[in-house]
């Protein structure tokens, strides 16, 4: 309870949490775990840790590609590779973006990776200011700077912006400083990603134990239902984020209305789309959906799907939710072109609305039916609709 909130702000709290979590791990090892414990363990191992590992690996590759490109910044092929590596890291980030607990929440790790929406174009302004000020660009400098110049968002600007993201900007004498920033920010991101993965690993911070071995000595989760509540919140707020922040707000879709009034054009705010500079919004959404589906199923392990079916006798709901994820992914994949491009084209509107409707239906299952079936309540966040 306490730590859930404290973790958001206080530095240094996790290490204590983790030590405590390890010390009682042995106690529970003797008796066969109840289904809820199995659920937590397998979801943690097969879904969460695996996703953190992927993100750590692709961030490493992105950092390597940055360093490699900056050796010979006039080679177009290396710039293409860099773009590809950024996209892979962004897809892997989408798989953990929705996780609402644990190391990601400590000391604002998520903000260091992504700053969005950036309504006032702070990323461009702060990156350009830093480039101009003449002081040496180091890893430490980036670490101490505003979160706005860090992470994938900053790299997206540096690699995909119509002006700042052109390869020519990195060549010649003027390009040296841009390359310094590119490599420093990539390396910083790699450190953040690696830190997150290490916090979860058994031979690292072993947050897996904190999450899956609950009990009164566990400083964060006094029982399994509390941890299951976080899983639930991750699913619900994940779909809400896609529905509201990634679709409704930028594309001016009313949250409830299925039918739009004909005639007046919707007032879209396309610069509030996630990843608008790289036009990678749709791919990131699909990656979010796949990851949430993966969390629900604990990949191939004993996940919420099995727990519902076997422990709660809710096979029908379990199937409906899995069906819902599939329908959402199909509907998102049916969108032709990037959201940024088609946002204001009437002929594409219906496909987007169809996807939105699928999301609403899945959200209703997750928000209304799933908590009841699990006997776990949802909190403020998932209820406020704000």
Partner 1 sequence: MSVLSRQFLLALSLLALAFTSFAAPQTSSSNDKHAVAVHYTDMAHAIFGDAEKSALALQAKINDFLNAPSAEGLIAAQEAWKTARKAYQQSEVFRFGNSIVDDWEGQLNNWPLDEGLIDYVSDDYFFALGNIGGDINIIANPSINLGTEVVDTSTINAELLRSLHELGGSAANVTTGYHAIEFLLWGQDLNGQQLGAGERPYTDYLTNDKCTHENCDRRADYLRAATEVLVQDLQYMTKQWAPNIDDNYRAELLALNDDVILARMFYGIGSLSLGELGGERIKVALEANSTEDEHDCFSDNTHWSHYYNGLGIQNIYLGKYRRLDGSVLSGPSLSALVAKANADTDKQTRQSLDKTMTALTVLTKAAETKDKPMKFDMMIAEGNKRGEAILSNILSALVVQTRSIEQAAAALNIDPTATGL
Query: Which residue, 18 or 253, is less far from partner 1 as judged by CB?
Result: 253
What's 44's DSSP letter?
A: I
> Is the CB of residue 41 less than 8 Å from the CB of residue 212?
yes
- The answer to whether residue 202 forms part of the interface with partner 1 (CB under 8 A) is no
Q: Residues touching partner 1: how many (CB under 8 A)? A: 57
d(CA 274, CA 116): 7
- The answer to whether residue 252 forms part of the interface with partner 1 (CB under 8 A) is yes
- The answer to whether residue 226 forms part of the interface with partner 1 (CB under 8 A) is yes
- The answer to whether residue 297 forms part of the interface with partner 1 (CB under 8 A) is no
Within 258-287, the residues that bind partner 1 by CB under 8 A are 264-265, 267-271
Query: Which residue, 86 or 101, is less far from partner 1 as judged by CB?
Result: 101
Query: Which residue, 123 or 328, is less far from partner 1 as judged by CB?
Result: 123
d(CA 224, CA 214): 6
- The answer to whether residue 199 forms part of the interface with partner 1 (CB under 8 A) is no
d(CA 91, CA 289): 11
Distance of CA 73 to the CA centre of its chain: 30
d(CA 162, CA 339): 17
d(CA 171, CA 340): 29
Contact range with partner 1 by CB under 8 A, out of 7-15, 35-43, 175-183, 331-339? 7-15
Phi, psi of 35 (to 5 degrees): -55, -35
Provide the mask over 119-138, with x wherever binding to partner 1 is found by CB under 8 A and - wherever it is not. xxxx--xx------------
- The answer to whether residue 257 forms part of the interface with partner 1 (CB under 8 A) is no
- The answer to whether residue 148 forms part of the interface with partner 1 (CB under 8 A) is yes
> Is the CB of residue 290 less than 8 Å from the CB of residue 30?
no
- The answer to whether residue 216 forms part of the interface with partner 1 (CB under 8 A) is no
What's 171's DSSP letter?
A: S
> Is the CB of residue 103 less than 8 Å from the CB of residue 207?
yes
- Which residues of this chain interact with partner 1, rule CB under 8 A? 1-2, 4-10, 100-101, 105, 108, 110-111, 115-122, 125-126, 144-148, 222, 225-226, 229-230, 233, 237, 241, 245, 252, 264-265, 267-271, 376-384, 386
């Amino acid at each position: 309870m306490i730590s859930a909130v404290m973790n958001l702000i206080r530095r240094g709290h996790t290490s204590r949490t983790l030590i405590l979590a390890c010390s009682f791990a042995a106690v529970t090892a003797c008796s066969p775990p109840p289904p809820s414990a199995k659920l937590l363990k397998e979801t943690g191992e097969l879904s969460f840790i695996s996703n953190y590992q992927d993100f750590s690996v692709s961030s490493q590759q992105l950092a390597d590609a940055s360093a490699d490109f900056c050796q010979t910044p006039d080679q177009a092929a290396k710039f293409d590779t860099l773009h590809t590596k950024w996209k892979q890291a962004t897809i892997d980030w989408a798989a953990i973006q929705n996780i609402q607990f644990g190391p990601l929440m400590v000391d604002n790790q998520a903000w260091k990776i992504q700053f969005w929406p950036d309504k006032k174009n702070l990323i461009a302004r702060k990156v350009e200011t830093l480039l101009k000020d003449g002081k040496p660009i180091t890893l430490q400098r980036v670490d101490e700077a505003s979160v706005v110049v860090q992470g994938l968002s900053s790299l997206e600007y540096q690699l995909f912006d119509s002006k700042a993201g052109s390869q020519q900007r990195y060549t010649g004498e003027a390009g040296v400083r841009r390359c310094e920033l590119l490599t420093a920010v990539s390396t910083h991101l790699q450190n953040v990603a690696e830190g997150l993965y290490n916090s979860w690993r058994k031979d690292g911070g072993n947050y897996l134990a904190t999450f899956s071995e609950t009990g009164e000595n566990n400083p964060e989760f006094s029982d399994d239902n509390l941890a299951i509540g976080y899983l639930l919140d991750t699913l619900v707020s994940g779909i809400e984020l896609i529905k509201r922040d990634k679709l409704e707000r930028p594309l001016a879709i009313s949250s409830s209305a299925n039918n739009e009034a004909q005639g007046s054009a919707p007032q879209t705010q396309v610069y509030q789309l996630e990843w608008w500079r790289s036009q990678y919004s749709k791919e990131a959404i699909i990656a979010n959906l796949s990851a949430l589906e993966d969390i629900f199923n604990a990949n191939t392990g004993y996940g919420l799907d099995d727990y519902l079916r076997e422990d709660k006798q809710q096979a029908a709901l379990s199937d409906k939710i899995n069906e819902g994820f599939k329908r959402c992914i199909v509907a998102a994949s049916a969108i032709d072109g990037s959201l940024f491009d088609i946002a204001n084209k009437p002929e594409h509107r219906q496909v987007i609305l169809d996807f939105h409707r699928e999301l609403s239906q899945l959200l209703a299952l997750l928000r209304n039916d799933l908590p009841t079936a699990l006997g776990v309540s949802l909190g403020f966040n998932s209820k406020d609709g704000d």
